[in-house]
DNA sequence: AATGAAACTCGCGCGGC
DNA sequence: GCCGCGCGAGTTTCATT
């Protein structure tokens, strides 16, 4: 992976659906060479897939909340985390250092949908001791972009 | 926006870079009709763009942390949030209800990079009273997918 | 709004450098 | 590893219903 690969990834990170030839034009290479690199990045698992970015406030998912889930002393962490991961309105499940807890990011229609999620699905779980909700009033930035370095020095 | 649009969005949400004809095949319509709908969704702002999903542990961004930033009594919230949003390693900036605080999601190389970010950039800000870091040990789920309803009833 | 056909553009494999 | 060429496949426009 060299600095040309990073150029390609930077382009794809903002507009992933543009044709291959346009990527090639932007970095000044032949389309076939660019295609070769992209295929390689996909095979290596550097590129995990392509997603459409939807505008959240056009859907029933305008309320974001972060939930701090405290687990019981003898909780089965992995099972609990995976059960939570199966729920569509839970976008993120992270295990947090030092607090025996999970951090969840959820996206629901409104506070009543959040209440339903908490009381009927999360709180009843045996491994869940308690939850603390932080409700988002406004979002200033929300991206999954991974910052890529300007220059990349090859490590052989 | 009808149920056909939702079908299209569901397909694009998992694999955005597939050819148009394949989308058309999957929902049983002519390619030109699908294209027309996609263009319309883009124009309406329902589709915000297309992104590549990169594998984080192949980059210098394998450490995720959630930072709870407590603001000072007379803080300029918007200015502070926007200044934080400008930093590449900060992926999310949310204003949280009830605690005069911001919730940040950051993605950095390691704990020392996090330390640098905190001590040189975040903590010195005049509106920042204190920060509390929650470091992620493992991630079970991390997606930006917005759950779409199976059936959609047109609201005229 | 969906369709089918036509014109155009791109994806992608191959041979050569 | 990059380029150029070529054919099959996909994209896009447009007249038609």
Span CA (B4) to C1' (C1), Å: 12
Whether nucleic acid strand C comes within 7 Å of the CB of B33, the answer is: yes
Asked if B62 and B30 touch (Cβ cutoff 8 Å), the reply is no
Domain parsing of chain A, residue ranges: 3-43, 56-135
CATH architecture for segment(s) B56-135: 2-Layer Sandwich (3.30)
Q: What does the pLDDT look like over A92-112, one tens digit per residue? A: 999 999 888 999 999 999 999
**Chain B environment of A55 (Cβ under 8 Å):** 45-48
Q: Which A residues 8-27 have CB within 7 Å of strand C?
A: 19-22
Judged by DSSP in three states, A87 sits in: coil
Q: What whole-number distance in Å separates Cα of residue B130 and Cα of residue A82? A: 33
Question: How far is it, in rounded angstroms, from Cα B143 to Cα B125?
Answer: 31
Residue from B10, B133, B146 to probe the interface with A (highest A Cβ count within 10 Å): B146
Taking only the tens place, the pLDDT of each residue in B33-47 is: 999 999 999 999 999
Q: Tell me whether residues B55 and A61 touch, CB distance under 8 A.
A: no
Estimate in Å the CA A32 to C1' C8 gap, whole number.
20
The CATH number assigned to the domain with range A3-43 reads 1.10.10.10
Residues B146, A59: C-beta atoms closer than 8 Å: yes
Q: Tell me the pLDDT of chain A (156 aa) as tens digits.
A: 889 999 999 999 988 999 999 999 999 999 999 999 999 999 999 999 999 999 988 888 789 999 999 999 999 999 999 999 999 999 999 999 988 899 999 999 999 999 999 999 999 999 999 999 999 999 999 999 998 876 655 443
pTM over the 0.85 mark: yes
Q: Which pLDDT score is estimated for A156?
A: 37
Q: For residue B51, how far is the Cα from the chain centroid?
A: 11
């Amino acid at each position: 992976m060299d600095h040309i690969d990073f150029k390609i990834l930077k382009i794809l990170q903002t507009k992933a659906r543009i044709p291959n030839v346009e990527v090639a034009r932007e970095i000044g290479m032949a389309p076939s060479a660019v295609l070769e690199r992209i295929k390689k990045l996909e095979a290596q698992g550097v590129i995990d897939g392509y997603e459409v970015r939807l505008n959240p406030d056009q859907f029933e998912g305008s309320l974001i909340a972060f939930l701090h889930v405290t687990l019981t002393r003898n909780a089965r962490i992995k099972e609990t985390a995976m059960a939570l991961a199966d729920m569509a309105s839970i976008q993120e499940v992270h295990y947090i250092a030092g607090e025996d807890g999970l951090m969840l990011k959820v996206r629901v229609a409104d506070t009543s949908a959040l209440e339903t999620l908490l009381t009927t699905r999360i709180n009843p779980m045996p491994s869940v001791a308690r939850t603390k909700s932080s409700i988002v009033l406004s979002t200033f930035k929300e991206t999954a972009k991974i910052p890529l370095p300007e220059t990349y020095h090859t490590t052989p």
